[in-house]
């Protein structure tokens, strides 16, 4: 049995159109707008839609030949042509798209069921697919096929609604103002979900606020709206429009209780990601099958919605791990030259490509490249298929297309993409080796094409040099420092400069610290803080070098600026004046003798006066930094600094009638002046188990080990020169080993000329000649070694402090200099 949507007469009434040809009052069982698509039911109706590049009226004949007998046409459609069609119902209207909308709205109005409407910039197709899958376990659910979310896609999708459906999930996408007003009545959602708002497709809108205002018109009919509160503009815009009339349910991944209805904490462990979702009624933890931020945000939307609507958490967890949607097959990999690869070398059809492109848009905004094989097994004729593909790629602002296969190469001229390049086969690609740099690369193709070979060829091959970070050592060191402190003293872990070199972001360390009861994190720059937030770190974070142009981002990511001068405070004051903000947590840095950053004693009155005019500022802490905490010759100076600090902090607290956290100690300060710990200390290098006095060193475990492997062994004869500039001359017949680590990896040139030593098979081997950018040469004379043997640059046994001494620097510098391309491995 085919479901009847309505009858032709209904359509006439709903659209107030004019019947220009009539056979009988036929049922309408299906909507068609594309004569190429096969119709599946006996009474389809063809809407001749006029688009920018195509006119549906040109395809009426084709549709008629396929057996379609009902049409909606433009009222200017030629009457003499109409007369040539026999046994048809033909309705003429002024605007066929509007008629399609009118009919769909009429059809939708017949149903009463819970229906979730989803919109946003990115992720809506994936969220819709997942919601469909998760809801389907309990309800007979209907949703848009693929990403039918446009002005013509939504009507087709809504027409699939049938009386036996119990739940609807429909997405809507728009690219300019005025469009959502038209889509909202077609969907009439009872519940709304806004995924996010990104800068993509912004041309159709004046600004972000307008873009949000337009999109949320979808929710006019909703009782409840779900969204992430971490984008302040979304929160503001939704509250302004719907705060009085609808229930707004929000979630947040920032750790401030009561800030949102659901607090979400994400933890990335070595082998799994967990999401803890807490509301006033309780807390649930889910294991989720992905690690990337976009997927984490997408699944959070789903989980919050379902929990809020009474789903059973245990059941949800089971369903979660069985989600079979396409994006789960996609994996993110690190590519050569700072590329990011989305590996989806499993299927290739337009629908899954749409989802993959959507996923790609959620990644960091970089140049977008698609490597795509021929599309196999499509019902659509090739020419049309590749035309559709070209439009799709252009719409997603793809910058570069690499086509693999004879068919896509044949249609090479169809693609309006800035850069295109085609290969007949994967083998051709591999021999010709096109280069990639700073791109997000989606690799997508049917399995038979074996695009995984392409992925392998552009994946960053693990450079033999590895920095291992022993998380056990970090925990050990943390507890050692904690034992030196009073139980109530808080610890701020300084994770600036990628946590003293330990990671491309400080995330792994920060998340371990978060689990081990650290109170605060300190970073040098806003970017470092944002990176931590994006990866789910919820601890409060102090930013030491804020600037006036990034207050906005600092505050929206719940980072807390350090205010180190009156000028900076002024800038913050200007920033606040332009908006009404929530209380802003700040940290005041005082100048007590370091003479770097800080507010001086003679500026305090002015400081206080200024602060009193800014009631929205919340002074969380007052602090200063010791100039020479490690050196006993300067202990008198340290005491002087502390005295000044106490005096100045008291003055501020007294005059402002506040009580704040106070802190001045760094690693060596903690070890040498525990009496000055106040309320908090700032622990940096000590966590890594280095940089401390020799008497303390035995209590700590150095956490980092930098190692590499021998690339090549050579024999040289007495008198041969070695390396650049012939810097070293062999004084005897020698054996030398080349190691793949150079100054770009952090092995400074000052290690050359025999000054620095590495350890091979327990023996110290001097680095001879000049250190090159990517390599260095080591004297291994007399040793029986082979390519691949392990080389230790530094480790617990071969201390980085000693190494630093060998070349006249400090461990801080060596640690933070380790190149980004050196792979970090964390282990416990």
Ligand X SMILES: *Cc1c(COP(=O)(O)O)cnc(C)c1O
Which residues of this protein are in contact with ligand X, per CB under 6 A?
A: 494, 496, 544, 625, 666-667, 682-686
Give the nearer residue to ligand X in terms of CB position, either 217 or 672: 672
The Cα–Cα gap between 677 and 673 comes to 7
Give the nearer residue to ligand X in terms of CB position, either 161 or 494: 494
Instruction: Encode 15-35: b = buried (16+ Cβ within 10 Å), e = exposed.
Output: bebeebbeeeebbbbbbbbbb
Give the nearer residue to ligand X in terms of CB position, either 134 or 671: 671
Give the nearer residue to ligand X in terms of CB position, either 404 or 683: 683
Q: How far is the CB of 561 from ligand X (least distance, A)?
A: 14
Q: How far is the CB of 809 from ligand X (least distance, A)?
A: 15
Angle, helices 313-322 vs 293-308, to 10°: value is: 140
Give the nearer residue to ligand X in terms of CB position, either 496 or 824: 496
Give the nearer residue to ligand X in terms of CB position, either 353 or 494: 494
Give the nearer residue to ligand X in terms of CB position, either 11 or 683: 683
Q: How far is the CB of 669 from ligand X (least distance, A)?
A: 8
Q: How far is the CB of 686 from ligand X (least distance, A)?
A: 6
The Cα–Cα gap between 444 and 450 comes to 10
Neighbours of 330 (CB within 10 A): 23
Annotation says 724 is catalytic: yes
The catalytic position among 724, 727, 755, 823 is 724
Give the nearer residue to ligand X in terms of CB position, either 265 or 667: 667
Q: How far is the CB of 494 from ligand X (least distance, A)?
A: 4
Tell me the C-alpha to C-alpha distance, in Å, between residue 265 and each of 49, 274, 519, 826: 47, 8, 16, 21
Q: What kind and span of H or E run contains 63?
A: helix 60-65
Q: How far is the CB of 523 from ligand X (least distance, A)?
A: 10
Please identify which residue in the block is written with the tokens 């990115």: 122
639-642: list long-range contacts, CB under 8 Å, 24+ apart.
Answer: 640/593, 641/592, 641/593, 641/594, 642/592, 642/673, 642/676
DSSP assignment of 596-664 equals SS-B-GGGHHHHHHHHHT-TTEEEEEEE---S-TT-GGGHHHHHHHHHHHHHHHHHHHHHHT---EEE-
Check if the beta carbon of residue 787 is closer than 8 Å to that of residue 691: no
Both tokens of 815, joined, read 């640690």
The catalytic position among 496, 662, 705, 707 is 496
Q: How far is the CB of 692 from ligand X (least distance, A)?
A: 9
The Cα–Cα gap between 431 and 433 comes to 6
Instruction: Encode 252-278: b = buried (16+ Cβ within 10 Å), e = exposed.
Output: bbbbeeebbbbbbbbbeeeeebebebb
Pairing of strands 89-93, 18-21: antiparallel
Check if the beta carbon of residue 124 is closer than 8 Å to that of residue 195: yes
Q: Looking at the chain, how many residues does it have?
A: 828
Tell me the C-alpha to C-alpha distance, in Å, between residue 82 and each of 33, 48, 76, 90, 478: 18, 13, 11, 8, 83
Backbone angles phi, psi at 48, to 5 degrees: -85, 95
Instruction: Encode 509-537: b = buried (16+ Cβ within 10 Å), e = exposed.
Output: bbbbbbeeebbbbbbebbebbbbbbbbbb
Give the nearer residue to ligand X in terms of CB position, either 123 or 598: 598
C-beta nearest to ligand X: residue: 684
Give the nearer residue to ligand X in terms of CB position, either 120 or 503: 503
Q: How far is the CB of 666 from ligand X (least distance, A)?
A: 3
Q: How far is the CB of 664 from ligand X (least distance, A)?
A: 9
The strand order across the sheet containing 141-143 reads 141-143, 167-171, 115-119, 191-194, 224-228, 247-252, 262-268, 273-279, 282-288
Give the nearer residue to ligand X in terms of CB position, either 253 or 666: 666
Q: How far is the CB of 824 from ligand X (least distance, A)?
A: 19
**Residues in Cβ contact with 337 at an 8 Å cutoff, skipping those fewer than 6 apart:** 435, 436, 437, 438
**Residues in Cβ contact with 826 at an 8 Å cutoff, skipping those fewer than 6 apart:** 270, 468, 469, 471, 503, 508
List residues bridging with 721 in a β-sheet.
729
**Residues in Cβ contact with 512 at an 8 Å cutoff, skipping those fewer than 6 apart:** 471, 474, 475
Q: How far is the CB of 510 from ligand X (least distance, A)?
A: 15
The Cα–Cα gap between 426 and 423 comes to 7
Chain-centre distance for alpha carbon 241: 28
Annotation says 496 is catalytic: yes
Q: How far is the CB of 685 from ligand X (least distance, A)?
A: 4
Give the nearer residue to ligand X in terms of CB position, either 686 or 746: 686
The Cα–Cα gap between 745 and 463 comes to 10
Catalytic positions, written as ranges:
496, 724
């Amino acid at each position: 049995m085919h479901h009847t949507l309505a009858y032709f007469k209904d359509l006439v009434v709903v659209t107030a159109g004019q019947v220009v040809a009539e056979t009988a009052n036929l049922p309408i069982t299906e909507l068609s707008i594309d004569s190429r698509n096969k119709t599946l039911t006996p009474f389809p109706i063809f809407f001749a839609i006029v688009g920018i590049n195509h006119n549906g009226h040109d395809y009426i004949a084709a549709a008629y030949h396929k057996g379609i007998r009902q049409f909606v046409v433009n009222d200017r459609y030629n009457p003499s042509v109409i007369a040539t069609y026999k046994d048809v119902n033909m309705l003429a209207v002024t605007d066929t798209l509007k008629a399609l909308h009118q009919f769909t709205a009429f059809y939708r109005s017949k149903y009463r069921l819970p229906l979730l409407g989803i919109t946003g910039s990115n992720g809506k197709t994936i969220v819709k697919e997942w919601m469909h899958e998760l809801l389907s376990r309990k309800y007979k659910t209907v949703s848009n096929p693929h990403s039918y979310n446009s002005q013509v896609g939504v009507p087709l999708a809504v027409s699939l609604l049938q009386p036996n459906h119990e739940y609807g999930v429909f997405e809507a996408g728009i690219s300019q103002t005025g469009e959502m007003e038209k889509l909202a009545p077609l969907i009439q959602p009872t519940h709304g979900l806004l995924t996010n708002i990104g800068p993509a497709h912004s041309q159709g809108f004046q600004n972000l606020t307008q873009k949000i205002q337009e999109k949320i018109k979808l929710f006019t009919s909703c009782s409840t709206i779900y969204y992430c509160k971490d984008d302040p503009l979304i929160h503001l815009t939704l509250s302004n429009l719907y705060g009085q009339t609808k229930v707004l349910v929000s979630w947040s991944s920032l750790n401030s209780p009561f800030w949102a209805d659901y607090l979400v904490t994400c933890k990335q462990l070595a082998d799994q990601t967990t999401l803890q979702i807490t509301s006033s009624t309780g807390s649930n933890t889910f294991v989720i099958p992905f690690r990337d931020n976009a997927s984490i945000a997408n699944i959070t939307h789903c989980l919050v919605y379902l929990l809020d609507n009474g789903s059973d958490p245990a059941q949800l967890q089971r369903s979660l791990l069985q989600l079979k949607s396409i994006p789960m097959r996609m994996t993110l990999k690190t590519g050569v030259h700072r590329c990011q690869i989305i590996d989806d070398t499993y299927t290739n059809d337009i629908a899954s490509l749409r989802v993959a492109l959507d996923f790609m848009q959620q990644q960091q905004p970089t140049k977008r490249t698609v490597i795509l094989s021929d599309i196999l097994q499509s019902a659509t004729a090739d020419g049309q298929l590749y035309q559709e593909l070209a439009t799709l790629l252009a719409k997603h602002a793809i910058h570069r297309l690499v086509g693999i296969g004879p068919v896509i190469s044949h249609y090479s001229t169809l693609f309006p993409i800035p850069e295109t390049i085609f290969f007949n086969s994967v083998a051709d690609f591999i021999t010709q080796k096109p280069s990639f740099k700073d791109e997000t690369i989606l690799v997508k193709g049917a399995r038979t094409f074996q695009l995984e070979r392409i992925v392998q060829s552009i994946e960053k091959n693990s450079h033999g040099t590895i920095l291992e970070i022993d998380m056990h050592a970090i925990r050990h060191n943390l507890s050692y420092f904690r034992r030196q402190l009073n139980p109530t003293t808080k610890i701020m872990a300084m994770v600036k400069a990628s946590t003293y070199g330990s990671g491309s972001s400080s995330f792994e360390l920060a998340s371990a610290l978060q689990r081990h009861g650290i109170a605060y994190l300190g970073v040098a720059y806003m970017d470092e803080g944002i990176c931590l937030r994006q990866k789910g770190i919820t601890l409060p974070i102090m930013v030491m070098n804020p600037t006036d142009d990034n207050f906005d981002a600092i505050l929206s990511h719940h980072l807390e600026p350090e205010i180190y001068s009156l000028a900076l405070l002024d800038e913050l004051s200007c920033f606040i004046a332009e908006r009404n903000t929530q209380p802003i947590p700040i940290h005041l840095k005082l100048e007590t003798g370091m003479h770097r950053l800080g507010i001086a004693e003679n500026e305090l009155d002015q400081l206080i006066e200024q602060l009193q005019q800014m009631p929205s500022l919340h002074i969380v802490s007052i602090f200063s930094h010791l100039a020479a905490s490690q050196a006993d010759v300067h202990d008198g100076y340290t005491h002087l600094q502390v005295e000044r600090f106490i005096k100045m902090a008291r003055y501020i607290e007294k005059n402002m009638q506040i009580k704040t956290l106070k802190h001045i100690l760094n690693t060596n300060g903690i070890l040498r002046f525990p009496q000055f710990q106040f309320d908090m200390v700032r622990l940096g290098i000590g966590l890594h188990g280095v940089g401390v006095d020799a008497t303390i060193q035995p209590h700590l475990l150095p956490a980092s080990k930098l190692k590499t492997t021998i690339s090549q062994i050579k024999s040289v004869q007495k008198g041969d020169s070695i390396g650049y500039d012939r810097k070293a001359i062999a004084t005897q017949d020698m054996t030398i080993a080349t190691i793949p680590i150079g100054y770009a990896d952090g092995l400074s040139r000052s290690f050359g000329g025999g000054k620095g030593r590495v350890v091979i098979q327990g023996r110290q081997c001097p680095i001879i000649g000049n250190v090159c950018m990517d390599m260095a040469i080591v004297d291994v004379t007399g040793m029986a070694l082979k390519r691949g043997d392990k080389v230790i640059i530094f480790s617990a046994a071969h201390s980085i402090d000693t190494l630093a001494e060998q070349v006249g620097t400090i461990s801080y510098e060596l640690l933070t200099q380790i190149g980004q391309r050196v792979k970090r491995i964390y282990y416990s």
